[in-house]
Amino acid sequence: MTMLECIHEQPKVLKRTIEGRKELAASFSDEFSAGSHDCIYLVASGTSRNASLAAASFVEEMLGIPVFVETSAGAGRYFGSPLVLFISQSGNSTNTIKAAEGCHYPSFAITGNAAGRVNSICRHHVLLQCGDETVGPKTKGYTATVALLDMLALEAGRRCGRIDEAAYAALVDGFIASADAMEANIAASAKWVASNMTELEKATSFYLIGKGPDQAIAAEGALKIMETLLVPAASFEFEEYLHGPICSLEEGTGGIYLMPEADDEDRGRVEKLFSIHGAKSSAVFSVCGEAEASFDGTRLCLAASDKWFQRPFSYMLPLQLISAMVPIDRGIDGVGSKRFYEIDADLGMKAKN
């Protein structure tokens, strides 16, 4: 299976997760409602960590307790009475296994592999609805992880009475709408990437900028670009981007700006910075949400919800497609994965079954 094929499977992955939410979230809802947990830790690395960052604020809002995202290698200092979720698509990340082994609190393994080693270490296991993703740079695993964390929080929040039935139904309808819009968004994004291929290939580095929670989406986009285009990429929250990083803009610095809603107080400032960056480099692009998917030059509009917690299911798509399509055009498709596995042979980042 190719990276592009995985990207096109994401609408089904999202729908499957939403439709199966009650069964998938049953053990989590039981554990959360029966315990006296005062915080949640999401422990993950790589794409799993970026997906956790994208979902964390929604989990907080649904459950009313703090959510902390920790790297697998840095986990181990837990406070209060936590519920700890160890997230690894393969279930075999060695740092995640080690972190789970050292955890003495109620824990869940969230993996896409029924045979993953971390599954048997944790008290509970919930399977990501993405199936086998053998391609190195993960895409449908990202969507599956964000969606599953959202559904766990949604169902547990309902069980505990934090969400009334009207709010619950509205949230479910919103997630379904995001899934329904995905195919059109993928198609528009693919055409947008193809039409801007020459400029995308000119960039020797990329800055990805998002305001507030959109920075978590930008972080995964930067990871994907580094994995596939094999050039440096960095993500920034918009306000932090203004305090130093903008000084390093030059001709080869590509930019991807995830635009806030049209009525956001900073939309004008982000647009102005987009123009300033575009005057320095031709590889500067913007992604925004509208009623329907379309594009005009470097600007891409997606059928995106005005709900910040649903934007990972739209704004992430063009970033994934850049990472899948540009390497094919440049003749370097798969080179990043080859390099990863060569390094993994020495470092042992993945446990062998």
Residues 198 and 252 in one domain: yes
* Residue-number span of the structural domain to which 126 is assigned: 3-163
In a domain, 177, yes or no: no
Could you read off the pLDDT of 287-326 as tens digits, one per residue? 999 999 999 999 999 999 889 999 999 999 999 999 999 9
Q: Is residue 137 part of a domain?
A: yes
Contacts of 83 (CB under 8 A, 6+ apart): 31, 32, 35, 37, 39, 40, 41, 105, 106, 107, 108
Whether residue 346 lies inside any domain: the answer is: no
- Count of CB atoms situated within 10 Å of the CB of 232: 14
The total number of structural domains that make up the chain: 2
Give residue 348's pLDDT. 65
Query: 43-65, pLDDT tens digit by residue?
Result: 999 999 999 999 999 999 999 99
Q: Which residues of the chain have pLDDT under 70?
A: 344, 348-353
Q: Are residues 159 and 204 in the same domain?
A: no
Residues 121 and 209 in one domain: no
pLDDT of 32 reads 96
Answer yes or no: is 171 within a domain: no
pTM summary value: 0.95
What span, in angstroms and rounded, lies between the C-alpha atoms of 249 and 200? 16
Give rounded-to-5 percent helix, strand, coil for the chain. Answer: 55, 15, 30
Same domain, 26 and 146: yes
Same domain, 228 and 143: no
Domain boundary among 163, 194, 214: 163
The pLDDT, as a whole number, for residue 35 is 81
Q: Do residues 95 and 194 both lie within one domain?
A: no
Going by C-alpha positions, the residue among 305, 86, 275, 278 that lies closest to residue 214 is 305
User: What is the CATH classification number for the domain harbouring 204?
Assistant: 3.40.50.10490
The span from the CA of 216 to the CA of 209, in Å, is: 10
Residue 353 lies in a domain: no
In this structure, the answer to whether residues 239 and 129 fall within a common structural domain is no
65 & 112 share domain: yes
Same domain, 22 and 150: yes
Q: Are residues 72 and 205 in the same domain?
A: no
Domain final residue, candidates 130, 163, 196: 163
pLDDT reported for residue 134: 85
Do residue 41 and residue 156 come from a single domain?
A: yes
